């Protein structure tokens, strides 16, 4: 970080809560999320002099974090032969009911999304990055990110039991309202 | 996956991101959780549109849950790490 201006350092410190939240969303484990965020800080600190001032520091930091995460994932997959089996067990859907959700349940539901969809949805929908920034962060095309976000929304709706309005027959809709209260207005 | 740019290799320096200056044929932010269709290059098949109310609900829920994570207090080990990094730098 030799010669990097103080303002950059301050910005880096301010990004820590977001780095932790993003890491948590990716790996779903707070201890590992903190490790990821710390590794990101160390690497960023080291390379901050090479950061192009005027470009998006937060996007730069997020790129470092997700690259560390995905390279660890690749390493783990090589190490654990049974990774696929474990993944499918973890992805087994346990139905979440609308009206009984809090942030934990929602994050739990997020963890059931495929990782690429989860990453795209968080970056666009929660962090508010533009599709273009997310495409650069994830190293793929803008159209790919849009597709992932759409799929993530659809999948999340299914997991959370928020069906399309057209899927609600009068009886199912009445059941939903009685069981959980009219949290979502359904046309 | 026809338009995929080269994925940065792990260990390499990530590219700097110029906010809003990326070349794109689909400009615009999408923080309101609006559905935009027809750009699917990941998998085959269109994604059905979600109802507006459901979209809004999802968007709010996502933002609220994520913000709750962001608001979590940062553990002291982060301050210690930064102090350590500063110390090492001064030594050089």
Q: Do A24 and B28 touch (CB under 8 A)?
A: no
User: Looking at the 3D structure of chain B, how many domains does it have?
Assistant: 1
A90 burial via Cβ count (<10 Å: 0-12, 13-18, 19+): exposed
Q: Do B40 and A147 touch (CB under 8 A)?
A: yes
Please give the class, per CATH, of domain A1-92. Answer: mainly alpha
Distance CA A149, CA A127 (A): 13
Residues A172 and A144: beta-carbon distance below 8 Å = no
Residue B16 lies in a domain: no
pLDDT confidence of residue A56: 93
Tens digits of residue pLDDT in A39-56: 999 999 999 888 988 899
Residue B9 lies in a domain: no
* pTM summary value: 0.68
- CA terminus-to-terminus distance, chain A: 55
> Which residues span the domain enclosing B79?
52-91
Distance CA B32, CA A100 (A): 24
Share of chain A above pLDDT 90, in %: 51
Tens digits of residue pLDDT in B36-47: 443 434 444 555
Residue of B nearest to A160 (CA): B58
Tens digits of residue pLDDT in A103-156: 677 778 888 999 999 999 999 999 999 999 999 999 999 999 999 999 999 998
Q: Do B24 and A70 touch (CB under 8 A)?
A: no
Q: A94-187: which CATH architecture? A: Orthogonal Bundle (1.10)
B61 Cβ neighbours under 8 A, 6+ residues apart: A101, A106
Distance from CA of B79 to the nearest CA of A (A): 9
Mean pLDDT in residue range A53-81: 89
Mean pLDDT in residue range B25-51: 48
Q: Where are the domains of chain A?
A: 1-92, 94-187
């Amino acid at each position: 970080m030799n010669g990097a201006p103080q303002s950059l350092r301050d910005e880096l410190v301010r990004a820590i809560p977001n780095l932790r939240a993003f890491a948590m969303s990716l790996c779903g484990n707070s201890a590992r999320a903190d490790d990821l965020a710390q590794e990101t800080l160390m690497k960023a600190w080291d390379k901050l002099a090479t950061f192009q001032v005027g470009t998006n520091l937060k996007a730069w930091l997020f790129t470092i974090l997700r690259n560390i995460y995905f390279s660890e994932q690749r390493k783990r997959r090589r190490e654990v032969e049974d990774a696929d089996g474990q993944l499918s067990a973890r992805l087994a859907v346990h139905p979440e009911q609308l009206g009984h959700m809090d942030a934990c349940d929602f994050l739990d539901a997020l963890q059931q999304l495929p990782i690429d969809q989860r990453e795209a949805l968080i970056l666009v929908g929660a962090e508010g990055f533009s599709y273009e920034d997310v495409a650069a962060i994830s190293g793929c095309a803008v159209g790919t990110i849009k597709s992932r976000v759409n799929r993530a929304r659809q999948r999340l709706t299914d997991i959370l039991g928020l069906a399309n309005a057209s899927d609600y027959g009068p009886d199912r809709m009445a059941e939903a309202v009685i069981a959980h209260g009219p949290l979502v207005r359904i046309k | 996956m026809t338009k995929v740019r080269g994925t940065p290799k792990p260990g390499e320096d990530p590219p700097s991101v110029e906010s809003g200056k990326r070349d794109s044929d689909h400009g615009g932010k999408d923080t309101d959780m609006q559905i935009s269709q027809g750009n699917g290059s990941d998998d085959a098949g269109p994604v059905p549109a979600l109802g507006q109310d459901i979209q809004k609900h999802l968007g709010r829920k996502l933002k609220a849950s994520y913000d709750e994570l962001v608001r979590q207090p940062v553990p002291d080990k982060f301050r210690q790490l930064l102090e350590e990094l500063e110390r090492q730098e001064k030594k050089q």
